[in-house]
Structures are given as structure tokens and as C-alpha cells.
Chains A and B, each alone.
Chain A
Amino acid sequence: MTKNSARNLFFIGTFACMVIFFALSIHTMSTIPEFTHSENLTDDVVAGKKVWEKYDCIGCHTLIGEGSYYAPELKDVYSRKGPAFLRAFLKDPVKIWYGTAEAAAGWRKMPNFHLPEEEIDHLIAFFEWGDKIDTHNWPPRPQKGVAQATGSAATVGAITGEAAMDLQVQQGEALVQEKACTACHKIKGTGAPVGPDLTGVTKRLDVEIVRKRLRDPKSVNPDSIMPNFGFSDAEIEVIIAYLKTL
């Protein structure tokens, strides 16, 4: 190969790759509405992206895997933690995560940006929209907890008596994990102090009260910020079975 043929190959190859790249880019842009549900891209979401940029959030966090690796991935933070937790956390990160400043000493923690209420609303709207972007199931997250617990129990075979109780507790624990109850409640020392501690809750409160709260948090306390998770009766029973063991 001579220098001239090498040069020509370079120019032709570059041109061809560029043409293909631009064509694919145009096609990708045409699929954006479908992949990102851009019909839900409200003014609040756009304002939320501006808040995200204003405080240089990407200087610590990653968002769909890009950013700074110092703080957690936030693509799916809305479905992992829910709006009630996010609101409480953004108002006072250290208190929600560690309880006190002393408990947080020596550990990684988010600074308090003293965000105005409105900016918190926008940020949560941005996370809620971002949560629905079709990223081919990235980041990889576990399968639903209950399905796992039931699946493993099914392999045990017929379930009676004590084994059935154990299974209920297992299912309840899995459900508590799946719904990230510790995002707001403490359980045996881990979790955030937004709502009441759940350790020994069935001993402090009447089980019927716990049942009512799980069915509709506002039915007992109208000011409760706990979301209604829409638990079925069966799900409520397994959660209570688990809470009784604490």
C-alpha cells in the first residue's frame, strides 16, 4: 500500500462512517418520543432538569450511569424511594439518612442545598419522568421480592403449620424490602427516621390499627405523608406477620 492509497482509504472511510452515523442519529431522534414518553415532558420536568443543572448534581451523582460515581445512581430513584421520601430527604439529607450529624460524622453524605419548595417539586417531577425512560432495563435491579420468596417456597413442596408461618414472614420481609419501607422507617436500627420506627410496632399498637394504616395511611391520621401502596389484603397479612417478629 502506498501513502496515497492509505490517505484515500482514510478519507473515504471517514466519509462513509460519518454518513452512516448521521443517518442513524436522525432515526434515533425520531424514536425519542416513544422511548422517553415525551408527551409527559411537562414544564415542571423541564424546570426540574434546570434545577438538576443549577446545583451541579452530576458533580457527585450519576444519572443513567454518567456523572461522578461519588453518590448513588438516580435514574430510578423515583421508583426506588418514592416522592414522600425524596421530599423529606432533599429538605434535610443528613437527618433523614443518618438521624443526627454525629451519626453521620466520617461517612459520605449529601450537603444540604436548602432547596426552595418549588425546586424540590420540579426535581421530583424530573425524576418521575426520567424513571420511565426506556433504557433497556438499565440499571439492573432485582426481580420482585414476593415472586422470589414464593418461588423458593414452591420448591419446598407442601406447606403446613410452622412452615406456612415462616413463608408468610419471608414474604412479608421481601415485600418490606421491595417497597423500601426503610426509606422512611427504621427497622432494627437501619433506615430513615421520617416515619415511626417499625421495630416492635405490633407490640406498641393494636394490630387492627396497623392493618388500617397499611390499607390507607390517611384513614387513621389524615395528615400522614405515607403513600398508599395499594396493598392487597393478603399482602397486608404477610407484612403484619413479618412485623410481629421484630
Chain B
Amino acid sequence: MKYQSHSVAYNHFVVALLLFALQVIAGLFIGVQYVFPDFFYQIIDFNVMRTIHINLLIVWILIGFMGASYYLVVEESETEVWSPGLANIHLVGFVIGGVAAIVGYLFGWTDGREFLEQPFIIKLAITVVVLAFVLNIIMTIIKGGRWTSVQIVLVMGLVGAALFFLPALGNHVGLYDNLSVDKFFWWWTVHLWVEGVWELIMGAMLSFLLLKLTGVDREVLEKWLYVIVGITFFSGILGTGHHYYWEGYPSYWLWIGGIFSASEPFAFLGMTIYAFTMMELAGRTHPNRVAIYMTLGCAIFAFLGAGVWGVMHTLPMINKYTHGTQITASHGHLAFFGAYAMINIAMMAYAIPAMKGSDGFNKRTGLTAFWLMVIGMSDMTLALFGAGVVQAFMERYNHVPFLDVQNQMGLFYAVRLAGGVVFAVGVFYLIKAFFEPGEKRSA
């Protein structure tokens, strides 16, 4: 390894991948419950495993971000991590907190607010862990003394993520007794993370990958990075309003939320054009095909999942019928996978061979993983989308009771489960590729 502290990034990647595998297993579990509702009924009920599924998602994405940030910052700053010891300690702290939360859910220890189910003590632990991480990243950049734009945008994203986690603590100190107040600030964390600051983190990582994979001039890349994150915040901050249509707030949110959130896809479209143009400009092919596939795949599926699948139901007159249906589940799956799972995987696919030479990340297995995951996720997205259209039309528009509609949609959920199985096999191949030597010696 060129830098000793790259091992810090490696440790994070290993943990992130294992949690990703667990997330997919939890997903399969509830996917089975959709098709066979008696599966583990009254033993491990749907709500328990669903909570575990979405919590593992957040934890592995964040740990992936952390590992990728350490790798990126070391490369960009051309220096070792400020404190590798602190990095490993906060990784262990995060894992302990995460495992305690997951085990707690199995025994009903929960705060019962979607995505933010972690009990107060765990939330405090997460806050400490994240602050230690952000401190370590900033100190490393200061030590290196090279404030590149990629690093500035990354740090803004990380600091923003830490800041917007704070409203999540409000329910524990009695600020959110009113449901509408609760929901208002719940979105400050949930929306401003995934449709705000996380996009900065993603944009910084995408730019870093394009720099490394294409060798295009840094000035050009960084200019467009600012343009893209500019569009992200211009549309995303006031776009929060698209969650405020029906929750007990004034009707101006229907206008503001509708108009600004409808512009959110432009940020993702920008990233897609950005990635493909830079690849084209480079005019030569980087030998790491897996990293290129994952990077371009991220650009495409972030645009489709977060951009197109989001804008479809963001206008109030459509959202009135689609809100709270499987359309949201369809959008959620493709958006999280395309934008945040794939950028993490792309960073791993680039970083592992770069730090371990030919020992890391098998290309052939990696490409198999790419296609299996893409096919599996596309299947799930389309199946849930079909279910969502039927649900919106029958339940919201024609007022047929919820279960009367759901009980006739078994086929959609069976098809979704099949996609989930394909996706899980893809994740198995991803882990296999991660630990396999880069090139097979024989054959």
C-alpha cells in the first residue's frame, strides 16, 4: 500500500459490505412475508424486520461513505490520516451501536419513528461517532494543506449530514408531541440527507472517481462539480416542500414543493451527462472495467431512480393519489441503490485494486455482480411500480379498501421477491469479488 492509513478505508469497506449482505437478507425475509404472510407471523413480525432492513441500509451506506472518505481524503491530500487509531475506534463504536440497535429491535426496543427508530442512547452514540469521524477527516485535510474543491464539497456534505442529524434528537426531549411538528423536523433529517447533503458526498466521490478513471483536467471537473451541487441545493432545499403537502401545513408548500422538487432530477441528469462526457473526453479506457461500470451505472441509476422515478409522483395533483403507496417503495429502492449503494461500490471497486495491486477485486466476478444487481433491482423496481399503479388507482382513486386491493396483488410481490433473490446472488458475487485476487492466474 502506498499509504499505511488506506487500511482504515479497507476496514470500513469490509464492515460496510457485510452489513449490506445482512440488509439484503432482511429484505428477502420481508419479501417472503409479502408473499406468505404467515411466515414468522407473531415470531418476527413484518415491522421488526422492515425496521432492521432500513436501519442496516443507513448504517452500511454511512460506513461506506466513511471508508470512501478516508480513501479519497488521503489521496487528495497526499498525506496519511490524522489519526488512524481514532478512525478504527469510531468504526468499532459505530458497529457496536449498530448491532445493539438491531438486536434491540428484535426485542421491541425502539423509538418507532421510521428510519430514526434508534433509542436515545444509541442516537447519542451515533452523534459522537460521526463527530469523531468528521474531525478526523477535517484534521487530515488541514494536515495535508490541499483544500481541493472535491474535498471542500465532501466536507460540506459530511458536516451537513452531522448538522441535520440533530433534529432527530428532538422527540426524545419532548419537542415533538404534535405529530405534524414531529413530521416537519423528521424530514429535516430524512429529506435533507438523501436529497441534499448526501448528494454532495456522492458528487464529490463521483468527481474523484472521474478524476482517477479519466485523467481529465481537474479545473474542468471541479467547475462542473460546483454547477451540479449548486443545482442540488437550489432544487433540494426548498424541494423539501414536496413532503409537506398533506401533513397539516399551509397550502403554499404545494406550490413551492412542486416547483422546486420537479427540478431535482436536473442535478442527477447533470451527474449522468458529467460522467459520460468526462469518460468520452478521456478517450482512453482505464484498465479497471468494474470501477468504470459501477461509476457509470451509478450515474445512470441515480438519475433513473432518484430523478425520473421521483419526479413522476412529485407534483401535488399526482402525489395526492400515489402518496403512501408502493410507488414510493419502488422509487425508494431504485434511488438508494442507484445513488448511494452504487457510489459506495464504485469507490470500493476502484480503491481495492488501487491499494492492493493485482490482489484486489476480481474483475470478472465484479462484472457478474454488477449485472445481477442491476437486473435484480430493475425487476424489483418495476414490480413494485406495477403494484403501486394498481394501488393508487384502486385504493386512492376508486376507494376500494386497502386489503381488498393488496390481497389481489400477490403476483406483483412474487415477481418482486424473485428480483430480490437475483439481487441477493449479485451481492454474494460482489463480496466474492471483493476478497478474490484481481486477476486469475490461469485460464
The answer to whether A and B belong to the same complex is yes
Binding site for B on A (CB under 8 A): 1-3, 6-7, 9-10, 13-14, 17-18, 20-21, 24-25, 27-29, 31-32, 35-36, 38, 41, 46, 49, 52-60, 62-73, 105-109, 111-112, 130, 133-136, 138-142
- Contact check, A111 vs B234: say whether CB atoms are below 8 A apart: no
In the complex, chain A residues whose CB is within 8 Å of the CB of B321 = 140
| Chain B residues within an 8 Å CB radius of A54 | 108, 110, 112
Chain B residue nearest in CB terms to A67 = B114
Q: Does B42 contact A (CB under 8 A)?
A: yes
Q: Which of B63-71, B126-134, B395-403 contacts A (4 or more CB under 8 A)?
A: B395-403
B227 at the interface (CB under 8 A from A): yes
Chain A nearest CB, measured from B265 CB (Å): 17
CB <8 Å contact, B248 and A108: no
Bound Cα distance A112, B43 (Å): 11
Whether B179 contacts A56 by the Cβ 8 Å rule is no
Contact B399 A56 (CB under 8 A): no
User: How far is A36 from B45 in the complex, measured between Cα atoms in Å?
Assistant: 32
- Confirm or deny: B50 has a beta carbon within 8 angstroms of a beta carbon on chain A: yes
Neighbouring B residues of A135 by C-beta, 8 Å: 246-248
**A36 B178 Cβ-Cβ under 8 A:** yes
Chain B contacts with A in 232-250, Cβ cutoff 8 A? 233-234, 237-238, 240-241, 244-250
Are A106 and B37 also in contact (CB < 8 A) when A65-B246, A136-B254 are?
yes
Contact B248 A35 (CB under 8 A): yes
Residues of B within 8 A of A13 (CB): 230, 233-234
- Name 30 A/B residue pairs within 8 A (Cβ), A-sorted: A6-B224, A7-B149, A9-B226, A9-B230, A18-B237, A21-B237, A21-B238, A27-B250, A28-B184, A28-B250, A31-B249, A46-B177, A54-B110, A54-B112, A57-B47, A58-B112, A58-B113, A59-B45, A60-B47, A69-B325, A69-B329, A70-B46, A72-B401, A107-B407, A108-B407, A111-B45, A133-B247, A138-B245, A139-B396, A141-B399
Give which listed residue, B178, B250, B329, B396, contacts A38 with CB less than 8 A. Answer: B178
What residues of A have a CB within 8 angstroms of the CB of B47 in the complex? Answer: 56-60, 68, 70
Task: Mark B104-125 against chain A: 1 for CB-CB distance below 8 A, else 0.
Answer: 0100101111100100000000
Q: Is the CB of B324 within 8 A of A66?
A: yes
Task: Give the chain B neighbours of A108 by CB distance below 8 A.
Answer: 37, 403, 406-407
> Which listed residue (B181, B227, B234, B396) contacts A6, Cβ 8 A?
B227
Q: In the bound complex, do residue B240 and residue A21 qualify as a contact, i.e. CB atoms below 8 Å apart?
A: yes
Query: Can you list the 6 inter-chain pairs with the closest CB atoms, starting with the nearest?
Result: A59-B47, A53-B112, A65-B324, A138-B246, A6-B226, A10-B230
Contacts of B324 in A (CB 8 A): 62, 64-67, 69, 73, 139
Question: Chain B residues near A32 (CB, 8 Å)?
Answer: 178, 180-181, 248-249
- Interface residues as binary, B386-428 with A (CB distance below 8 Å gives 1, 0 otherwise): 0000000000110101110011000000000000000000000
What residues on A are CB-neighbors of B241 within 8 Å?
24
Other A-B pairs beyond A3-B219, A32-B180, A134-B248, 20, CB < 8 Å: A6-B227, A17-B237, A24-B241, A24-B253, A28-B184, A32-B248, A35-B250, A36-B178, A36-B179, A41-B177, A56-B48, A56-B108, A66-B183, A70-B50, A72-B403, A109-B41, A133-B180, A136-B251, A139-B324, A139-B396
Interface residues in B312-326 (C-beta closer than 8 Å to A): 320-321, 323-326
Contacts of A52 in B (CB 8 A): 112
Taken residue by residue from 172 to 210, chain B's Cβ proximity to chain A (1 for < 8 Å, 0 otherwise) reads as: 000001111111100000000000000000000000000
**A59-B50, A73-B324 known; A6-B223 Cβ under 8 A:** yes
Pick the contact of B238: A10, A20, A70, A72 (CB < 8 A).
A20
Q: B34 on the interface (CB 8 Å rule)? A: yes
Q: Is B76 an interface residue (CB 8 A)?
A: no
Interface residues of B: mostly helix, strand, loop or mixed? helix
Of B112, B223, B324, most A-chain CB atoms within 10 Å: B324
A205 to B442, CA, bound (A): 87
Contacting A at CB under 8 A, from B218-276, are 219, 222-224, 226-227, 229-230, 233-234, 237-238, 240-241, 244-254, 256
**How many angstroms between the C-alpha atoms of A1 and B33 in the bound complex?**
54
Interface size class of B (residues with CB under 8 A): 35 or more
Q: For B320, list chain A residues within 8 Å (CB).
A: 138, 140
Question: A28: which B residues are within 8 A, CB to CB?
Answer: 184, 244, 249-250, 253
Most buried by B among A14, A69, A106: A69
Cβ B114 vs Cβ A14 within 8 A = no
Do residues B250 and A65 form an inter-chain contact, with CB atoms below 8 A?
no
Contacts of A10 in B (CB 8 A): 226-227, 229-230, 233
Contact residues of B with A, CB < 8 Å? 30, 33-34, 36-38, 41-42, 45-48, 50-51, 105, 108, 110-114, 117, 149, 171, 177-184, 219, 222-224, 226-227, 229-230, 233-234, 237-238, 240-241, 244-254, 256, 320-321, 323-326, 328-329, 396-397, 399, 401-403, 406-407
Say whether B234 contacts A35, CB under 8 Å: no
- Least CB distance, B202 to chain A, in whole angstroms: 15
- Complex CA–CA separation, A109 to B227 (angstroms): 50
Per the bound structure, the CA–CA distance linking A57 and B113 in Å amounts to 9
* B177 surroundings in chain A (CB, below 8 A): 41, 46, 49
The closest CB in chain A to the CB of B254 belongs to A136
Q: Which residue of B lies closest to A60 (CB)?
A: B47
In the complex the two chains form, is A29's CB within 8 Å of B184's CB? Answer: yes
Closest B residue by C-beta to A1: B223
Chain B positions within 8 Å of A138 at CB level: 245-246, 320, 323
Q: CB distance A36 to B180 under 8 Å?
A: yes
Q: Is the CB of B184 within 8 A of A73?
A: no
Question: Could you tell me the distance in whole angstroms from the C-beta of B123 to the nearest C-beta in chain A?
Answer: 14
CA distance A104 to B47 in the complex (A): 19
Q: Is the pair A56, B245 in contact by a Cβ cutoff of 8 Å?
A: no
Chain B, residue nearest A52 (CB): B112
The distance in angstroms between the C-alpha atoms of A42 and B373, with both chains bound, is: 49
Knowing A28-B249, A36-B179, say if A60 contacts B114 (CB, 8 Å). Answer: no
Q: Complex formed: what's the CA distance from A41 to B50 in Å?
A: 30
Q: Please, which residues of chain B bring their CB within 8 A of the CB of A106?
A: 36-38
CA gap between A14 and B227 in the complex, in Å = 12
Whether A69 and B48, one on each chain, are in contact in the complex, defined by CB atoms closer than 8 angstroms, is no
Q: Kindly list chain A residues whose C-beta atoms are within 8 Å of the C-beta of B105.
A: 56
> Which of A3, A20, A25, A63 makes the CB contact (< 8 A) with B222?
A3
> Taking the nearest CB of chain A, how far is it from the CB of B274, in angstroms?
13
